[in-house]
């Protein structure tokens, strides 16, 4: 029985990986510049045989935030044929967002592999991916590409405290203290701090992820 369960689990993981490999997004994040007509994300079906249904929408950054989401995605649902590409167009519908800092939302993209009528008893794999969507107001101080270099760190007891004095979100790729890596460095919101529990002390080194999904050089404090 255990071998059967293990085999089924392995099959499910393989199917999930295959389904996810079929749909490829043209980025890891989206920046919507205030005043622009739209922001875009390309979606490609890299599978040579299987068409997919692709559904997309935007959520607020927090699940507890029940305010209307000020973005729409076009097209919200479409069929993507094998080896074909489409473009998602993200449009700001208006609303009161902070003018002195970025706001973050989630762009959701779900790919659905079709099943034939004769395959009704087969498992259908739906893969949902989330991408950070940043609304960037005009006239923010400094440059987004340099924000990561302005982080400052301090140790308070057994906690490492990071301060982000910039109006930009900073997504950390890596963060080490005394050569020991923190497992989940995460993201630091604009004009805010973030804390991690640490064991030990020493130089703090970090690298961040830029607007294009690339990784910056390292900085040390």
Could you tell me if 33 and 135 are in contact, meaning their C-beta atoms sit under 8 angstroms apart?
no
Would you give the DSSP letter of residue 144?
Answer: G
Could you tell me if 162 and 193 are in contact, meaning their C-beta atoms sit under 8 angstroms apart?
yes
Structure token digits, residue 1:
């029985």
**Residue 72 φ/ψ, nearest 5 degrees:** -125, 150
Residue matched to tokens 């064991």: 199
* Cβ-Cβ contacts under 8 Å for 206 (sequence gap 6 or more): 148, 151, 172, 173, 174, 175, 176, 185, 218, 219
Q: What span, in angstroms and rounded, lies between the C-alpha atoms of 185 and 166?
A: 18
Q: Where are the alpha helices (DSSP H) in 131-189?
A: none
Cα angle vertex 91, ends 89, 97, to 5°? 145
Would you give the DSSP letter of residue 48?
Answer: S
Q: What span, in angstroms and rounded, lies between the C-alpha atoms of 107 and 172?
A: 19
What's residue 121's pLDDT?
Answer: 55
pLDDT digits (tens, 9 = 90+) for 28-72: 999 999 999 999 999 999 999 999 999 999 999 999 999 999 999
DSSP, collapsed to helix, strand or coil, labels residue 4 as helix
The sign of the torsion formed by the CA atoms of 58, 60, 62, 65 equals negative
Which stretches in the chain have pLDDT values below 50? Answer: 1-20
- Length reported for the chain: 221
Could you tell me if 71 and 93 are in contact, meaning their C-beta atoms sit under 8 angstroms apart?
yes
* Domains of the chain: residue spans and CATH: 2-136 (2.60.40.10), 144-220 (2.60.40.10)
Cα angle vertex 38, ends 34, 44, to 5°? 135
Could you tell me if 180 and 199 are in contact, meaning their C-beta atoms sit under 8 angstroms apart?
yes
What's residue 113's pLDDT?
Answer: 86
Model's pTM, two decimal places? 0.85
Q: What span, in angstroms and rounded, lies between the C-alpha atoms of 169 and 209?
A: 10
């Amino acid at each position: 029985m255990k071998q059967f369960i293990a085999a089924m689990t392995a099959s499910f993981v393989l199917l999930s990986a295959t389904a996810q490999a079929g749909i490829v997004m043209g980025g890891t994040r989206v920046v919507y510049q205030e005043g622009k007509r739209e922001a875009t994300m390309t979606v490609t079906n890299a599978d040579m045989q299987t068409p997919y249904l692709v559904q997309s929408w935007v959520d607020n950054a927090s699940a507890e935030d029940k305010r209307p989401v000020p973005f729409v995605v076009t097209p919200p649902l479409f069929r993507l044929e094998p080896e074909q590409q489409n473009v998602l167009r993200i449009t700001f519908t208006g609303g009161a967002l902070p003018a002195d800092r970025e706001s973050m939302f989630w762009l959701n993209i779900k790919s659905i592999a079709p099943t034939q009528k004769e395959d009704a008893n087969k498992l259908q794999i739906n893969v949902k991916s989330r991408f950070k969507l940043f609304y960037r107001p005009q006239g923010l101080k400094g440059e987004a590409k340099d924000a990561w270099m302005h982080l400052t760190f301090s140790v308070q007891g057994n906690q490492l405290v990071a301060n982000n004095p910039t109006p930009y979100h900073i997504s950390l790729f890596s963060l080490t203290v005394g050569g020991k890596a923190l497992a989940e460095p995460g993201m630091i919101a604009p004009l805010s701090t973030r804390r991690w529990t640490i064991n030990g002390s020493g130089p703090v080194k970090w690298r961040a992820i830029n607007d294009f999904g690339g990784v910056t050089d390292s900085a040390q404090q």
